Every structure is written in structure tokens, then in C-alpha cells.
Amino acid sequence: MPSKEISTYFKATENRQTRDDLKRAIELVGDRKIAIDCGCGSGSDIAFLRSKQFQVHAFDIESEAIERCKRRFGSDKNVWLSQSTFDAFTYPSASLIVADSSLCFCPENKFDEVWHKITRSLLPGGIFVGSFVGCEDTMAGPNYNKEAYWPDVLVVSESEIINLFRGYRIESYTEHKSLGVGPDGEHQSWHRYAVIAQKI
């Protein structure tokens, strides 16, 4: 059963504004509009992708996320939903993989396996769009509440990201640092690396 903090997060992000990186990424995708949404949450990216005629395979570890998405997209035959972890999900061939604010919850000892699956599932010329957590993020520090949220937090460095994307052409790479208030009302420091990359 998800915590009240996770439920609050899902409610707050259900209709969030589409990020510019995702808008840009879909412009790079060719005619085959098949997407995987990794850690789909309550489905804001699914809704955007469907508005752009993508078929969407989406998964999340949380049952509440999948139930919310079923209520929104259960009658849509071009949306496939799975409750799954990153390593257990069966990745279909795709022209777009979306992993925003989600890969950080992949256990570190599973990440190499997961990244191999992601890369293998992308069609030649396919696009990855997503973000990674840096060392100055609240989630990387001692004040992150692992009992209320997800216990595994994968923190990466800039050099590690560069190594990940060998075999890709980087279309956009941005380091974001900001201070603000999270969905739970708590002060938060964000440190993220946002990447759009095309598989060569």
C-alpha cells in the first residue's frame, strides 16, 4: 500500500504540464510512434503521447499508479499498462523511451541490466528522453524520507551519464539546479541531468 506522501505526489502530478524535453523528443521520432513510459505515475505523459498518436506501453511499481492509469486509459486499446519493476518489465521494441524522474528509483545493482534492456529495445534512430538525479538533490542527501517514498535512489555523476550514452547521439543535455517546494509542501533542492539522445 503506498504511503500518503506517494498518493499526494500522484495526485499533484496527474495533470502536470508537459515538459519541453518531451515535446522536443517527439519531434525527433519518425513514423513509428511506439513509446515506453518508464515509471508512468498517474499518466500525465501517457495522455500527452496519446494526443500525438503514440501507442504507449507504460509501467510503474506502484499499484496505485496503475489503478489511476486504468481509470484514465482502460478503454484505450493503444495503451498497455503493467505493474512492474524496471528489471522485470518486458521492454517491447520502441521508437521512444520516456524515463523522467523514474530511473533514479532503479536499484543500483540492477541498473546495468535495465540500461541494457532499454538500449536494446530502442529501434535504430529511436529516442531516449529522461532525467537522472545528481549528488546535490534532496533525494541524494540524508534528509530524504526513504520510508515515506521509495527506498532506492540512484545518484549519478556527469561522467557516468556520458558513459551511458556511448552509442547514442546527444541531442540535448542540461544540468538543472533549483530550490523550491515539492508536492508534499516540503522544501526541496533539485539537481537533475536531463537528456535527449538518439540511438545510432
Q: What tens digit of pLDDT does each residue of 60-110 get?
A: 999 999 999 999 999 999 999 999 999 999 999 999 999 998 999 999 999
What was the pLDDT predicted at 185? 66
What was the pLDDT predicted at 1? 43
Alpha carbon of 50 to those of 31, 44, 47, 107: distances in Å? 14, 10, 5, 29
Say whether pTM exceeds 0.95: no
Domains and CATH numbers, the chain: 4-199 (3.40.50.150)
The 10 Å CB-count burial string (b at 16+, else e) for 10-48 is beeeeeeeebebbeebbebbeeebbbbbbbbbbbbbbbb
What was the pLDDT predicted at 78? 98
What was the pLDDT predicted at 4? 67
Residue 140 carries which side chain, given as an amino acid letter?
A
Dihedral pair phi/psi, residue 14, rounded to 5°: -60, -40
DSSP for residue 155: B
Compute mean pLDDT per 10 residues along the chain, 200 residues long, and list them: 62 77 96 96 96 98 94 96 97 97 92 97 98 91 66 89 95 92 72 96
What was the pLDDT predicted at 160? 95
Give the separation between CA 190 and CA 162, rounded to whole angstroms. 20
Q: Which triple of cell numbers denotes residue 100? A: 523522467
